[in-house]
Amino acid sequence: MKFFKKNKYTIIVIVAFILLVFIGAKAMELFFPNTGKAVYGDRLDGIEKVQIQDSKIDQILTEMKEDAIVSDITENTQGKIVNFVITVTDETGVDAAKGLADKAIASFEEDQKKYYDFQVLIKKENKELTDFPIIGYRHHDRDAFVWTKDRAGA
């Protein structure tokens, strides 16, 4: 008991420090709840089995650029969504442009098509045209793209 009376201020400072550290840790959890957790949670489980190689993407982009109606194409993969941005010539119709989406994913393997979602943004060189851009989305459980409403006459 003599020890506690003699060192009471030291003990108070140590206990206060421990309480501040504990309160600080709880505040950090409150303000930053996802620190240290995966951004996509468990949605990317199994992605290593169906990885898309860069050479496959390069092959697809090269094949697509050979098409006469394609001016430019880029690809970006985030998580399990593969995004294509395709710029087509001004003379291209909506139906012809929509056909490019199926052509873009034709080279992917079936297990990749069943894992990844595909999104295609198709725009024209002339940004003034009202029927473009159009966006197509294909969920991994579906066999076809779903498209934005046609804007002709809107």
DSSP state at residue 49:
G
Same domain, 15 and 53: no
Provide the CATH number for the domain around residue 118: 3.30.70
State how beta strands 81-88 and 70-78 pair: antiparallel
Domain count, the chain: 2
In this structure, is residue 85 part of a structural domain? yes
Determine the residue type at 61: L
Q: What SS3 class is residue 102?
A: helix
**At a CB cut-off of 8 Å and minimum separation 6, what does 18 contact?**
none
In this structure, is residue 106 part of a structural domain? yes
Same domain, 76 and 129: yes
Confidence of residue 151 (pLDDT cuts 50, 70, 90): low
| Model confidence pLDDT, tens digit, residues 19-37 | 999 999 999 888 887 766 6
Same domain, 61 and 119: yes
Interval 48-63 mean pLDDT: 89
Confidence of residue 116 (pLDDT cuts 50, 70, 90): very high
Question: Of 16 and 125, which is predicted with more confidence?
Answer: 16
In this structure, is residue 13 part of a structural domain? yes
Domain that holds residue 117: 47-147
